[in-house]
Structure 1
Amino acid sequence: MSTELTRNFSIIAHIDHGKTTLSDRLLEFTSTISDRQKQDQLLDAMDLEREKGITIKSHPVAMKYKAKDGKTYNLNLLDTPGHVDFSYEVARSLAACEGAILMIDAAQGVEAQTMANLHLALDQNLLIIPVLNKIDLPAADVDKCKQQLEDILAIPAEDAIPASAKNGIGIEDILEAVVARVPAPVENPDKLLRATVFDSIYDAFRGVVSYVRVFSGSIRKGQRIKLFATGKTYEVKECGVFTPKMTKRDELVAGDVGYFIANMKTADEAKIGDTVTDSTHPCPEALPGYKEIQPMVFSGIYPVDSSDYEALKMAMGKLQINDAAFTFSSESSTALGFGFRCGFLGLLHMEIIQERLRREFNMDVISTYPSVIYQVTKTNGEEEIVDNPTMLPEQQVIQEIREPMVRIFIMIPGDYIGDIMALVMEKRGEVTHTETIDDMRIMLTAELPLAEILIDFNDRMKSMTRGYGSMDYEHCGYRPAKMVKMDIMIASEPVEAFSTIVHRDKAEGYGRALAIRLKDVIPQQLFVVAIQACIGGKIIASERISAMRKNVTAKCYGGDISRKRKLLEKQKKGKEKMKAFGKVNIPQDAFIKVLKSGD
């Protein structure tokens, strides 16, 4: 099929605005799937995606559609995630397209993530087709949404297509708009093979399966190909398209979105964003690449059973092929043994990775408290990057610590502006701009430290606004802050698994809360155990676990009081000796309970 009859498009929207439902209807309308194959969330392959109702991985699918002009078109759809943590998936999918369907919930209107994803699409110069979804809902307000399209997004209201993905309303109009408005792919005149890898998955039997968009030339079975990033050459064993299952084809031509398998075994070989070309007649330069994904949240992941270390390493290697934004490197801890320092895009991304390790690889893991990357300037002028509290230099040699900042966009009903401003201030942030969207909603722009929005910011914002608030954020550099390393001492011994980098003003409250949690989970010893939160040599919070007491006078029935006193004195000396030489062995489950309750 010629490139004139090919259309590559994506679906972008805020989370829960109906992307996956629309992709299900498109597959049914184009008869890509049979009635027997029909099911909700068809493109969501993972159990996690179905349970949480979110798309985590983008899923390409090729459809055939006979348009009203009598021609049969080849439509390549790339479904995309909607959660703020997975915007890198959206950017990768958009780079393989010429157009995008922008979905807006007619009952909720334009949300924070709608705007963020639209800007990603406009950065790639894609044609935008606005779709107002859920028009059948009683709360739907189509006129208001059209007004928002023009006022907020600067998109002409007459371009919008009213639809209901759930009830199949407007599906044909959307397909006709894709055919009519989205431009056909343009092939390079030299016809040399240029394809970009926009995703990959790991198959236990066939190795790495690379998802590609072919920009010019063709990929055939038996062809020798070369990857620009590594310079290695491979022989293509199989290629094909998604319908939505992998379907073999003799070749993939310009404009096609599909996959190829070429004996790649590790994540290092399959770089996301890499350019594939023919090894005999290579193209002169690589295609414009994707931005390198920078993890923003770091956490230690350790196997609960230390003998599972190698199995965990293999599992993480396979996950990294499926998820380009996930990074890991080996580290060890005296408390938790051997494990890995892992980088994530956000807290949901971290939760998803841990859950996939448990489900897909049967790994029982424990994670340390999440932290971010700090820039440290020492007194001798040296610069250091610190993502692990144990690597922070001593306080006396630090001149300045800079923490990562985010610019956060919060869209809320006007009634809740006071509560949200108070939340931003509590999190050490400041509101820089307020903008009235319409008669109901306001958009706040604020700058906060990334560390402060990691744990509970989104949850608290949702509960304060009764679920009507939405947020999106972007990174906006680093700012000096009074950050300190807080250590936890148990019986005068530092426990590095509980070390964290916190703001000096919040250190006391956090240290006291952690000490109370530890007091509940550490078993009693034969001597008094002090739990102390320290900054440098200064104790800022302290709890005591009282000693187990054996009744040594139980065998004394009457007689002189000096006998009892003698036994109690002997016990007292024994306890002092025990305190001098005794050590507290913290059980593994105590670490697990404390770290999990800190999530």
Structure 2
Amino acid sequence: MRGVSRLRRGRCVAIWRRFSDVTSVHDLQSDSTARSPMRTFPPERIRNFSIIAHIDHGKSTLADRLLEKCGNLEQVEQAQQLDSLQVERERGITVKAQAISMIWKHPSTQEPLLLNLIDTPGHIDFSYEVSRSLAACDGALLLVDASQGLEAQTLTTYGLAKEQDLRIVPVLTKCDLPHAAPEDVALEMATAFDDVDPEEVLASSAKRDVGTEAILDAIAEKIPPPSRGDPNAPLRARLVDSWYDEHRGVICLIEVVDGHLEEGQRIAPRSTLGDGTSGATSFSVQELGVLSPRLLRTRCLFSGQVGYMVAGMRSTSNALVGDTIILAPAGADAPLPEALEGFKQPVPTIFASLLPMDSK
């Protein structure tokens, strides 16, 4: 028995060392729910943030540098790692929202933090994607091109971020360009935005990897941890986005607000339940994990964490953006958690120009 106790103590020490030695997102992979390193990241060790800016102000390039600096990628094999759609790579713009997890040590405590970057489009035509992403964030990097200054979409996305009460971290990009004027643009930002101090604006060049570590330190220190959830409450997860995979079916991008979710549990979209459980559609969770941007299986997700879920859904109509994911009710009389505040639905708009064929 003494030998067994010693073996158990050694195993516990080994598991603790594994948790404390998490240095990159790849260390989060697990073959067991009970031993998943995700358990060691409570809400206070999580930062959910977004990058907002005008089109072509360097969001995707900065995201590439953050991934490289945090060890998600040994080197950036190709530009715009977060732009996976063909139209995004052809046109050099971000269309779909993406969520990538990274590990970075807090500059003061040296404690590993879980950073969830929710990348957003910058083009005005995709402002709905921006609003969906910001609802799952607690802070945002406000990027401004040091050679161009404030643009129209900069003001629009800033307004959306303030509506969500996000903590803004101002960042100047492309400061290496010959005609860049970082001091003037910083003053311009301070004039336009009340909560921007020109002395706290970070100067960077993602292309030359200048200022990247300072940005990561600012994320750790200035962006607050998630505070709207209850880790001990019944599961409530916000469905941020979804896409169809021909091998796995629908893959859902979710933010766990309350409680936790494990593989094998049965879940149900709250919108299908109404006030009761009649006609409810439930699904068995087959896979849970985070994106690096590749899918990394962690087998569980906890309050404040953002990741992906595969639950055997065969159509994206089962995964409505903004819906609340809860555990499938145990019976007809089982109490249902309240739905989370839904995302704003886009209003279809058509623009048309009528021009005369003949001046006469």
Deviation at 1:133, TM superposition (A): 0.8
1:74 aligns with 2:114: yes
User: What residue identity is the alignment partner of 2:125?
Assistant: D
Match of 2:16 in 1: none
**Aligned to 1:451, which of 345, 352, 358?**
352
User: What residue identity is the alignment partner of 1:103?
Assistant: L
What secondary structure does 1:229 align onto? helix
Q: Deviations over 1:305-340 (max 9, x none)?
A: xxxxxxxxxxxxxxxxxxxxxxxxxxxxxxxxxxxx
Aligned residues of 1:194 and 1:217 also touching (Cα < 8 A): yes
**Aligned to 1:140, which of 180, 189, 194?**
180
**Aligned to 1:244, which of 275, 293, 300?**
293
Aligned residues of 1:194 and 1:283 also touching (Cα < 8 A): no
Tell me how many residue pairs correspond in the alignment: 306
Matching of residues 435-450 of structure 1 within 5 Å: 450=351
Match of 2:73 in 1: 33
User: What residue identity is the alignment partner of 2:86?
Assistant: D
Moved more, 226-235 or 238-247: 226-235
How many Å separate the matches in 1 of 2:314 and 2:51? 31
| Greater share of strand | 1
Match of 2:204 in 1: 163
- Identify unmatched segments of 5+ residues in structure 1: 298-449, 453-501, 514-540, 542-599
How many Å separate the matches in 1 of 2:231 and 2:179? 51
**Aligned to 1:101, which of 112, 128, 141?**
141
How many Å separate the matches in 1 of 2:336 and 2:272? 15
CA 274–44 in structure 1, closer or farther in 2 if over 3 Å, else same? same
What secondary structure does 2:313 align onto? coil
How many Å separate the matches in 2 of 1:12 and 1:264? 31
How many Å separate the matches in 2 of 1:97 and 1:282? 29
Identical columns (%):
43
User: What residue identity is the alignment partner of 1:130?
Assistant: P
User: What residue identity is the alignment partner of 1:2?
Assistant: P
How many Å separate the matches in 2 of 1:165 and 1:283? 47
Q: Which has the larger radius of gyration?
A: 1
**Aligned to 1:14, which of 46, 54, 68?**
54
Aligned residues of 1:192 and 1:283 also touching (Cα < 8 A): no
User: What residue identity is the alignment partner of 2:233?
Assistant: K
**Aligned to 2:82, which of 31, 43, 46?**
43
How many Å separate the matches in 2 of 1:292 and 1:183? 27
TM-score of the aligned structures, taking structure 2 as reference length: 0.81
What secondary structure does 2:271 align onto? coil
Deviation at 1:288, TM superposition (A): 0.7
Match of 1:359 in 2: none
What secondary structure does 1:15 align onto? coil
CA 254–141 in structure 1, closer or farther in 2 if over 3 Å, else same? same
How many Å separate the matches in 1 of 2:290 and 2:111? 21
CA 283–192 in structure 1, closer or farther in 2 if over 3 Å, else same? farther
Matching of residues 280-291 of structure 1 within 5 Å: 280=329, 284-291=337-344
Q: Deviations over 1:400-431 (max 9, x none)?
A: xxxxxxxxxxxxxxxxxxxxxxxxxxxxxxxx
Match of 2:223 in 1: 182
**Aligned to 1:172, which of 200, 203, 213?**
213
**Aligned to 2:302, which of 220, 239, 253?**
253
Match of 1:111 in 2: 151
Match of 1:215 in 2: 257
How many Å separate the matches in 2 of 1:32 and 1:127? 25
Deviation at 1:158, TM superposition (A): 2.0
Coordinate RMSD, CA, aligned: 1.7
What secondary structure does 2:238 align onto? strand
What secondary structure does 1:296 align onto? coil
Deviation at 1:189, TM superposition (A): 6.1
Q: Give the structure, 1 or 2, with the largest relative contact order (CA under 8 Å, sep 6 or more).
A: 2
CA 156–30 in structure 1, closer or farther in 2 if over 3 Å, else same? same
What secondary structure does 1:451 align onto? coil
TM-score of the aligned structures, taking structure 1 as reference length: 0.50
User: What residue identity is the alignment partner of 1:50?
Assistant: R
Deviation at 1:40, TM superposition (A): 1.2
CA 202–146 in structure 1, closer or farther in 2 if over 3 Å, else same? same
How many Å separate the matches in 2 of 1:142 and 1:283? 52
**Aligned to 1:194, which of 227, 236, 246?**
236
Aligned residues of 1:193 and 1:282 also touching (Cα < 8 A): no
What secondary structure does 1:179 align onto? helix
How many Å separate the matches in 2 of 1:249 and 1:103? 32
Match of 1:574 in 2: none
Aligned residues of 1:193 and 1:283 also touching (Cα < 8 A): no
Deviation at 1:283, TM superposition (A): 5.1
**Aligned to 1:279, which of 328, 335, 338?**
328
Deviation at 1:190, TM superposition (A): 4.7
